[in-house]
């Protein structure tokens, strides 16, 4: 039985306003300018001789395109005793509101606030909407979906307006699985990405990110480029597509694709590497996370002859991939060493996390193919990036934007924070 150090503790702290203490909500709205908030709280702090002293219970302020909305819940101070009624409090605050409104040219409204706010069931969540653009239909659909599973939107803020528009909704009262399922339907219908994450310190405690390479960090598939130089492009492309969709075992498909490269001169690896095109936003993502203290690296089902120089050029902390066998300057059609396949990617993530002393729950993995799924689900947050439907359905969340730095918004970073990270 759990120990109770205070078996006779009161239901609430006697030093705090109780459920019957008169309360009121003061709402300020209008053009934002310096001194509005200071003027309101100065008035609350210095009441007239016959007015009750108040305590601040809750505050929320937001500025949208220069328009301020400030809400303050106040209660009669405990020192006032039981002699002050709600009507007394409201009369005092309305006189105060008139003075503040005249002084700083804003609207100030006062209304009863009732008792303490009810505590919503379940852990709160962040719901992130991303698109270019984000349509009103997407916001309406998300709001309706949240309500349908018993959730309430407590706050909304914009995270970014470039390269994608993104908004973060703080939602209480909804169960995680039901919320994700409902919003996945909205995302599919509206074409807007919608991610769901639990509110808490864990979201901002991520410290290591692992990126897949082909069709994630870079555009296209390296194996397809090599096969084109061997005159077997169509054959290999079919095998690659089947493997990425989960229709073929990755290790066996890899061996079959590598076999067709037999006889290619080693120089083709340099040619393919020189023609790699990074996914838009890749450098911004890596640079920003590195400046925020992340360990950044790649884990690929591709080839070290390509990924190692790429990792060096981007200043990454680690890299893991397969190694093509080369004899007398030509590819043999075989591989050397352990194959980095679907389970191998997850093992590599765990190995790098252990090497840097970072718990797996503080890691992020990003990938697009079926061979990434174990890695995505091993990480604290797995993001399917422009992934096959089979992968999107099983990852923690999915992004279908063409910009890799949209990952930053899923992690909760605003556009301003990204710009601040630029040297």
Q: What is the pLDDT of residues 32-59, one digit of tens each?
A: 999 999 999 999 988 666 778 889 999 9
Of residues 134, 118, 122, the one with CA closest to residue 194 = 134
Beta-strand runs (E) in 192-246: 193-198, 208-211
The percent of residues in the chain predicted with pLDDT above 90, rounded, is 70
Assigned token pair, 14: 């006697």
Assigned token pair, 285: 């993502």
Q: Predicted confidence band at 111 (pLDDT cuts at 50, 70, 90)?
A: very high
207-231 confidence digits (pLDDT tens): 999 999 999 999 999 999 999 999 9
The percent of residues in the chain predicted with pLDDT above 70, rounded, is 91
214 classed as catalytic: yes
Q: What is the pLDDT of residue 10?
A: 43
Cα–Cα dist 85/173, whole Å: 32
Instruction: Say if residues 43 and 59 touch (Cβ distance below 8 Å).
Output: no
Cα–Cα dist 215/241, whole Å: 12
Cα–Cα dist 320/334, whole Å: 18
Exposure string (b/e) for 4-30, b if CB count within 10 Å is 16 or more?
eeeeeeeeeeeeebeeebbbbbbebeb
DSSP string, 353-418: HHHTT--GGGEEEEE-SGGGHHHHHHSSEEEEES--HHHHTTSSEEE-SS-GGGHHHHTT--HHHH
Tell me: pLDDT of 238 over 70. Answer: yes
Among candidate residues 214, 224, 341, 405, the one labeled active-site is 214
Q: Coil, strand or helix: which one is 291? A: helix
94-110 confidence digits (pLDDT tens): 999 999 999 999 999 99
Q: Coil, strand or helix: which one is 23? A: strand
Q: Predicted confidence band at 4 (pLDDT cuts at 50, 70, 90)?
A: very low
Among candidate residues 32, 193, 212, 341, the one labeled active-site is 212
What is the overall mean pLDDT for the chain? 89
pTM of the complete model = 0.80
Cα–Cα dist 366/360, whole Å: 14
Instruction: Say if residues 216 and 385 touch (Cβ distance below 8 Å).
Output: yes
Q: What is the pLDDT of residue 122?
A: 63
Cα–Cα dist 157/272, whole Å: 43
């Amino acid at each position: 039985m759990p120990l109770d150090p205070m078996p006779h503790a009161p239901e609430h702290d006697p030093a705090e306003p109780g459920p019957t203490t008169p309360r009121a909500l003061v709402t300020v709205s209008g053009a934002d300018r310096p001194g509005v908030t200071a003027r309101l709280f100065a008035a609350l702090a210095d009441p007239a001789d016959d007015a009750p002293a108040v305590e601040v219970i809750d505050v929320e302020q937001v500025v949208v395109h220069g328009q301020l909305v400030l809400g303050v819940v106040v209660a009669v101070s405990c020192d006032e005793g039981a002699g002050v009624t709600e009507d007394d409090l409201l009369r005092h605050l309305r006189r105060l509101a008139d003075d503040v409104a005249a002084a700083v040219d804003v609207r100030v409204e006062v209304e009863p606030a009732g008792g303490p706010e009810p505590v919503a069931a379940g852990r709160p969540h962040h719901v992130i909407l991303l698109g270019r653009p984000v349509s009103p239909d997407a916001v309406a659909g998300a709001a309706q979906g949240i309500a349908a599973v018993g959730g309430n939107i407590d706050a909304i803020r914009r995270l970014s307006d470039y390269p994608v528009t993104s908004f973060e909704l703080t939602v209480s009262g909804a169960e995680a699985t039901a919320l994700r399922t409902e919003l996945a339907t909205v995302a599919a219908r509206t074409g807007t990405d919608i991610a769901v994450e639990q509110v808490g310190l864990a979201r901002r405690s991520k410290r290591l990110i692992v990126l897949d390479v082909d069709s994630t960090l870079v555009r296209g598939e390296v194996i397809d480029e090599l096969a084109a130089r061997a005159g077997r492009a169509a054959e290999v492309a079919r095998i690659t597509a089947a493997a990425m969709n989960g229709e073929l075992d990755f290790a066996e498909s890899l061996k079959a694709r590598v076999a067709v490269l037999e006889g290619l001169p080693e120089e083709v690896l340099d040619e393919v590497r020189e023609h790699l095109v990074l996914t838009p936003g890749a450098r911004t993502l890596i640079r920003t996370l590195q400046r925020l203290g992340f360990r950044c690296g790649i884990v690929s089902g591709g080839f070290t002859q390509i990924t190692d120089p790429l990792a060096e050029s981007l200043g990454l902390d680690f890299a893991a991939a397969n190694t093509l066998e080369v004899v007398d300057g030509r590819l043999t059609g075989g591989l050397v060493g352990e194959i980095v396949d679907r389970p191998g990617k997850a093992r590599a993530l765990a190995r790098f996390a252990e090497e840097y002393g970072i718990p797996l729950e503080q890691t992020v993995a990003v990938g697009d193919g079926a061979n990434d799924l174990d890695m995505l689900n091993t990480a604290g947050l797995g993001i399917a990036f422009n992934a096959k439907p089979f992968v999107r359905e099983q990852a923690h969340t999915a992004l279908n934007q063409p910009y890799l730095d949209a990952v930053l918004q899923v992690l909760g970073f605003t556009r301003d924070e990204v710009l601040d990270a630029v040297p």
